[in-house]
Structure 1
Amino acid sequence: MLSFMPAWLKIGVNLFLLIVCTAMVSFAICIVACVRILFFGNCHKFFIKAANRCMRWWLYRIRGIMGITNRTEWVRNIAIHPEFQDSYILISNHISWLDTLVLAAVLADLRPVPKFFLKHSLLFVPFVGLACWGLDMPFLRRYSRAYLLKHPDKRFTDIETSREACKKFSGVPTMMVIFPEGTRFTPEKRALSNSPYKNLMQTKPTTIAIAIESLGNQFNKILDVTLNYPDNPDTPFRSFLEGRLKKICISINEIKITDDLRGSYLTDKQFKRHFTLWLKNLWQEKDEKISEMKKNEKALCSSTDPDNIIKNKD
């Protein structure tokens, strides 16, 4: 729509719209959260639904904002069959800050609304932190291996946070979004971490395993997302702000959570090895898929209309 504008003006327009839209929704969710506190836990599901409706409004607005200054081609392969009452765990590779916006655009019509596992530092971002807290999104600290060696008492902090967050979603249709790599991919990070993959970081399976264990049969599917920005691989978020985001490749597959993926990751060593190997194999397939995306984009179906990515309106 406004793709004719110079890059510096596009940056201003996109930042303004993102900030205003996010601030408005965050403020509304904060009000809902504060009112919920006054009821001391009563009517919990009512206030969660109210906050979720605010979140869905944000998802739709993000979808619209992404098309204002960018003429982006969406190359997609989405093989899922969502149901209104289902709960999902969504896992995705992590490339850029743009990933969250892309997932928002793709999942806007999908029920239930996504809930992200976030870094603890985001709790202190104005408006956003309080809004995410109001949506019961868990904040994880992501301690380094060196820090945990010096402070072993912190080893299970994120695990307990994950468990408490999962308990809040008991009985409520939920989509929990997890980036198993724990950080955005860069060639430098990949080299430092000795990642065995060409396009991905190593995975951290604990959060996924704890989520499946904590909510049991409420989760019966995993949505496996593979993202790639073939024409803007280094700075996709900046390219989006400047109106230069040419192409988004996204693939989503369903994985049934079978009995062999349910168990105690912390106390059952045999299950821990099995689950870790399963996730490694899944990430190996994802790494190969990204390589294939880069070589042969025609392997995916193509669509230039982001408004028709997923339609599952109730």
Structure 2
Amino acid sequence: MPVFAALKGSASFILIVMNTLICFVPVMVLALLKCVLPFVAVRALLNVVLDRIATFWIGVNNINQRCLGRSKVDVSGARDFVLNDWYMVTANHQSWVDILVLQRLFNRRIPFLKFFLKRELIWVPFIGLAWWALEFPFMKRYSPALLKKRPELKGKDIEVTKRACDKFQHFPVSIMNFLEGTRFTGEKHHQQSSHYKHLLMPKAGGLSFALNAMDGKLHKLIDVTIVYPNGIPSFFDYLCGKVKVIKVHIRMMPIDSALLGDYQNDAEYRASFQQWVNDLWQQKDQQFERLMQSGGNDCD
């Protein structure tokens, strides 16, 4: 890697760390207040302030990326978003860079993005505690083998999803769900015998549980297809400016009542919803191919 690119990436990383540390202090103070003042109105107000701090943090990081990374994001598709609505956001997942791209696209355009996270990520220094304070939903998934040994755990992950989404009923929010459940690699693609050329198999259950837990509040789905024409980058590659172009297509579609139901106990609904997700993913796979072959559009 050229020395200048490495220095630029290091400088960008240091700025992200500094920005994180500066914002971390007020986030932790407000999180402590939430613990000692467990009143609904107070917690709601503190959540608004916390989201604004996080929005500021993302805004500073976005300036950093534009000035030092200088990656161009070619965007096509829907752009008509508002801040006072509830959205479900889905995207294909290839790299940690995906999260930076999504934040760059949607910061101050839709309500603050809340990601479903693996419970283990709460231990990430500083960021893990910040995610907890911002009430990101931490998920605990149980393997089929463990459920077979301990059947009492069945449905526990669903309960966690419902409790997390209950907190999002009272103010506009955007809930982010990577349906593949993990980052794409050629090895994972082969192991799954995926039906799709560019994507892993989608997991419909988590999306269904989130939609139902929100009791109809989520009535718009934003589906994002992210393509790195020159190969999937690492986080540091992105900071170093080695990712020249990122292509993104955004679709927005309604979430109607037919998509709501009992995924766990209603076999007919479960099959119907899984087919809807499969169709969504098939269209995304085709869009991915088109983006690989196309030129650029609007740059963000």
1:6 is paired with a residue whose SS is helix
Q: Is the 8 A contact 2:90 2:179 kept in 1?
A: yes
Distance 1:288 1:245 in 2: 23
Equivalent residue for 2:212? 213
**Which residue identity lines up with residue 125 of structure 2 in the other structure?**
P
Moved more, 191-200 or 276-285: 191-200
2:67 is paired with a residue whose SS is coil
Q: Is the 8 A contact 1:142 1:182 kept in 2?
A: no
Distance 1:202 1:172 in 2: 32
Q: For residues 31-60 of structure 1, what are the alpha-carbon distances to aligned partners after superposition, in whole Å with 9 as ceiling and x for unaligned?
A: 111111111234121011011111110121
**Which residue identity lines up with residue 237 of structure 2 in the other structure?**
S
Equivalent residue for 1:163? 162
Alignment size in residue pairs = 298
* Of 3, 16, 19, the match for 1:18: 16
Q: Is the 8 A contact 1:62 1:104 kept in 2?
A: no
1:26 is paired with a residue whose SS is helix
Percent same amino acid among aligned pairs? 31
Unaligned stretches of 5+ residues in structure 2: none
Distance 1:118 1:183 in 2: 11
**Which residue identity lines up with residue 6 of structure 2 in the other structure?**
W
Distance 2:161 2:65 in 1: 31
**Which residue identity lines up with residue 112 of structure 1 in the other structure?**
P
Equivalent residue for 1:310? none
Moved more, 205-214 or 12-21: 12-21
Could you tell me the TM-score, scaled by structure 2's length? 0.94
1:225 is paired with a residue whose SS is strand
Distance 2:25 2:188 in 1: 35
Moved more, 82-91 or 149-158: 149-158
Structure 1 residue 215, shift from structure 2 partner = 1.1
Moved more, 263-272 or 73-82: 73-82
2:175 is paired with a residue whose SS is strand
Distance 1:234 1:224 in 2: 20
Could you tell me the TM-score, scaled by structure 1's length? 0.90
Structure 1 residue 236, shift from structure 2 partner = 4.2
Q: How does 1:117-136 map to 2 (within 5 A)?
A: 117-136=116-135
Q: How does 1:160-239 map to 2 (within 5 A)?
A: 160-231=159-230, 233-239=231-237
Moved more, 153-162 or 180-189: 153-162
Structure 1 residue 230, shift from structure 2 partner = 0.6
* Of 267, 270, 290, the match for 1:269: 267
Q: How does 1:1-314 map to 2 (within 5 A)?
A: 6-42=4-40, 43-231=42-230, 233-295=231-293, 297-298=294-295, 301-303=297-299, 306=300
Moved more, 30-39 or 152-161: 152-161
2:219 is paired with a residue whose SS is strand
Two-structure CA RMSD over aligned residues (Å) = 1.7
Q: For residues 209-245 of structure 1, what are the alpha-carbon distances to aligned partners after superposition, in whole Å with 9 as ceiling and x for unaligned?
A: 11111112211101101111112x2324232132211
Structure 1 residue 198, shift from structure 2 partner = 1.0
User: Relative to structure 1, is the Cα distance of residues 155 and 18 closer, same or farther in structure 2, using a 3 angstrom cutoff?
Assistant: farther
Q: For residues 104-147 of structure 1, what are the alpha-carbon distances to aligned partners after superposition, in whole Å with 9 as ceiling and x for unaligned?
A: 11111213111111111110112111111111111113333444
User: Relative to structure 1, is the Cα distance of residues 24 and 146 closer, same or farther in structure 2, using a 3 angstrom cutoff?
Assistant: farther
Return structure 1 stretches of 4+ with deviation > 6 angstroms: none
**Which residue identity lines up with residue 240 of structure 2 in the other structure?**
E
Q: Is the 8 A contact 2:97 2:233 kept in 1?
A: no
Unaligned stretches of 5+ residues in structure 1: 307-314
Structure 1 residue 5, shift from structure 2 partner = 6.5
